[in-house]
Chains A and B, each alone.
Chain A
Amino acid sequence: SAVISQKPSRDICQRGTSLTIQCQVDSQVTMMFWYRQQPGQSLTLIATANQGSEATYESGFVIDKFPISRPNLTFSTLTVSNMSPEDSSIYLCSVGGNPQYFGPGTRLTVT
């Protein structure tokens, strides 16, 4: 399985600001995914990060709010824009299709 790191591991941000989360994998992977896990809830897929093309967003998530970059096969970023307290969640990246392996997550608190 791939080794996945995320930065930052946690952050406390003011409403209205933006935070960029990085996901680094120790090997080249085709599929990278970004999930949100709200407190005490399950995982919800935000988008699939495609190398060399636009990310594919799930219903309820838009590019203006969650822009994603995927500059190469080992790295991706997710930006949470114009944050509100409702964005307080754990954000997880994962790789692989079948099965998926998850990074340690970024715990975001918006005040």
Chain B
Amino acid sequence: GQQVMQIPQYQHVQEGEDFTTYCNSSTTLSNIQWYKQRPGGHPVFLIQLVKSGEVKKQKRLTFQFGEAKKNSSLHITATQTTDVGTYFCAGQWYGNKLVFGAGTILRVKS
């Protein structure tokens, strides 16, 4: 079946350090979406990437979509304690179904 692999499972960084999480699909995606879930909260949409090689920025967050539309990354520059949570990628093929990656738990030491 359709799967999205996400690594790492967990990352613990010092405040001010950078953080990156990666997602990979074995088949070409229509688009990939990124969500953040704070502890005890629900997933909140961050961004959608549609075009091959697309790069989008939201303040300290940079999202990339690979040329083959099979992989994606989320990079956070200079992490802050407010960045704590689980970051999920979610792949979409042709249709409305989303398949979520396993998520990367980010902990930030201040």
Contacts and interface: CB of A to CB of B under 8 A. Distances in A.
Nearest to A59: B1
Contact of A43 (B44, B48, B96, B100): B100
A105 B38 CA distance: 13
B85 to A, nearest CB: 13
Contact of A105 (B33, B42, B92, B101): B42
B98 interface: yes
Taking residues whose C-beta sits less than 8 angstroms from the other chain, chain A's interface range is 20 to 34
Contacts of B96: 31, 48, 97-98
Contact of A42 (B41, B45, B92, B102): B102
Contacts of B101: 42
A92 B44 CA distance: 12
B66 interface: no
Contacts, number: 42
A67 interface: no
B48 A99 contact: yes
Given A98-B48, A103-B42, A45 B98 contact: yes
Interface of B (DSSP majority class): strand
Given A42-B88, A43-B88, A43-B100, A102 B48 contact: no
A48 B31 CA distance: 19
Interface in A12-46: 31, 33, 41-45
Given A42-B103, A45-B99, A99-B33, 19 more contacts: A1-B45, A31-B96, A41-B102, A42-B88, A42-B100, A42-B102, A44-B100, A48-B97, A59-B1, A92-B42, A97-B96, A98-B31, A98-B48, A98-B96, A99-B48, A100-B33, A102-B42, A102-B43, A104-B42
Interface of A: 1, 31, 33, 41-45, 48, 59, 92, 97-105
20 contacts: A1-B45, A33-B98, A41-B102, A42-B88, A42-B100, A43-B88, A43-B90, A43-B100, A45-B97, A45-B99, A48-B96, A92-B42, A98-B48, A99-B33, A99-B48, A100-B90, A100-B98, A102-B43, A102-B44, A104-B41
